[in-house]
Amino acid sequence: GGLRGATVIDALDTLYIMELEEEFQEAKEWVEKSFDLNVNGEASLFEVNIRYIGGLLATYYLTGEEVFKSKALELGEKLLPAFNTPTGIPRGGSLFSPCSGMSWSWGWASAGSSILAEFGTLHLEFLHLSELSGNPVFAEKASNPQPGPLHPPGVMNIRRVLNRVEKPQGLYPNFLSPVTGSWVQHHVSIGGLGDSFYEYLIKSWLMSDKKDSEAKKMYDDALEAIEKHLVKKSAGGLTYIAEWRGGILDHKMGHLACFSGGMIALGAEHAAEERRQRHMELAAEITSTCHESYTRSDTKLGPEAFRFDAGSEATATRLSERYYILRPEVVESYMYLWRLTHDPKYRHWGWEVVQALEKHCRVEAGFSGIRDVYTTTPTHDNMQQSFFLAETLKYLYLLFCEDDVLSLEDWVFNTEAHPLPINHTDFKA
């Protein structure tokens, strides 16, 4: 698609971790010789950040090879104009053209609004860009560089805007005006459009070696509101997280929302005793519900969205929601839950996914998404999403590795599963 080389760059750290040396060298060579920042076409700020910058940064930290660091920094610089809005919050679907260094957004992407999961999923990478370059501009506005244009505010400003705006019942709606800094409509979701914003709050705190208490408080408050208003139990006893539309619940969970089992477990690890136990249970229950969405299908792969209404329990009710595009969120939660509990069921569940992928998604040239998980002879969509190599296969691999391979003590995974080091106090040394 528009993201030229996304699969190569998204896969770099997976190749390295899996010790696929030949393939890694080939990919590295591609980055050195063919990843031309000036002719790379157009991509959204979010995609460029999580795929290209995240992948390059992680590979730099794993290998120490300068080429990955310098390409990541170069890209970071080119993204800065996207922050040039009245509030400093990038517009939704912000397009970025490395050639001109300009950014703009398609009107249709979000009718000019900013999307929570997009502007809320920059923090981890941008803090590393500032740390690596010694240039505060990515994190905060640099102090009046003279001469030259005034820099827009960096990524820390996004939090300030979010802390100022009133949250309905403590919840964060998915669309915000980049002009006024207020919410545009009241749709709340822990799945698509919202998801990685919550993930980046708890991971910002972890990445700072637990110093970023503002991020932790924002995460705790957001999760409390989610528990209070969105967490529900179905008639059949399955725990799920519903969506919220101006106060009305939509009893649906997207595949994307299944990452939350892992996130809540990760946060629970570091919570006070009473919360810790409650959140670990919640994480395990959500993960089990997502597993049910897989086991209740004919392919043993889960649909894009599943519902808990009109008699349905963790199954898709609409034709348009029956597809599976090699998404990682369910195995992501298995990996976290395995590492944090060592309950062998998570490895069993992961193995079920491996077998289903082999059976239904493997094609001659790689793996493909399928159009309907509720048939034993699904048709392929002829697409191998870049996150399949970046995330799905990496999380499956880590599920069966020893805990010290990319230990959760030392690394946080960005939302595309690219590992970034936790900033231990002796990190520089």
Residues of the shown chain interacting with ligand DMJ in the complex, contacts defined by CB under 6 A: 195-196, 256, 327-328, 387, 415-416
Nearest distance from residue 384's CB to ligand DMJ, in Å? 13
Structure tokens belonging to residue 217: 């408080």
The first and second tokens of residue 126, run together, are: 């941008």
Nearer to ligand DMJ, 137 or 396 (CB): 396
Phi-psi region of 146 (alpha: psi -120 to 50; beta: other; left: phi over 0): beta
Count the neighbouring beta carbons within 10 Å of the beta carbon of residue 367.
Answer: 20
* Closest CB 422 distance from ligand DMJ, rounded Å: 20
- Gap between the Cα atoms of 207 and 421, Å rounded: 7
Cα R_g (the chain), whole angstroms: 21
Q: Are 239 and 233 in contact (CB under 8 A)?
A: yes
Which residue is nearest to ligand DMJ, using beta carbons? 415
Q: Containing H/E element for 332?
A: helix 329-341
In the complex, the smallest distance separating the C-beta of residue 325 from ligand DMJ, rounded to whole angstroms, is 7
As measured in angstroms, the least distance from the Cβ of 272 to ligand DMJ is: 28
Query: Kindly report the CA angle at 397 between 360 and 261, in degrees rounded to 5?
Result: 85
Is 415 annotated as ligand-binding? yes
d(CA 110, CA 163): 22
Number of neighbours of residue 357 by Cβ within 10 angstroms: 22
Indicate the residue among 151 and 174 with the shorter CB distance to ligand DMJ.
174
| Cis before 147? omega within 30 | yes
Q: With respect to ligand DMJ, which residue has the nearer C-beta, 285 or 329?
A: 329
Rounded to 10°, the helix 329-341/260-268 angle is 30
Whose structure tokens read 């080119």? Answer: 78
Phi and psi based region of residue 279 (left: phi greater than 0; alpha: psi -120 to 50; beta: remaining): alpha
- Choice between 55 and 181, CB closer to ligand DMJ: 55
Look-up: residue for tokens 């030259």? Answer: 148
Instruction: Tell me the backbone φ, ψ of residue 306, rounded to 5 degrees.
Output: -135, 155
Contact 145, 136 (CB under 8 A): no
Taking the least distance from each CB to ligand DMJ, the nearer of 181 and 387 is 387
Residue 328 or 378: the one with the smaller Cβ distance to ligand DMJ is 328
Beta carbons of 73 and 129 less than 8 angstroms apart: yes
**In the complex, least distance from residue 315 CB atom to ligand DMJ, rounded to whole angstroms:** 20
Q: Which is nearer to ligand DMJ, 46 or 244 (CB)?
A: 46
Shortest distance (Å) from residue 203 CB to ligand DMJ: 12
Dig out the tokens for 409 from the structure.
């003590």
Distance of closest approach, residue 386 Cβ to ligand DMJ, in angstroms: 8
What is the helix (H) or strand (E) element at residue 249, kind and residue range? strand 248-250
Q: Which residues are catalytic?
A: 47, 195, 304, 329
The residue among 67, 78, 90, 69 whose CA lies nearest residue 39 is 78
Annotated binding-site ranges: 415
Annotated binding-site ranges for Ca(2+): 415
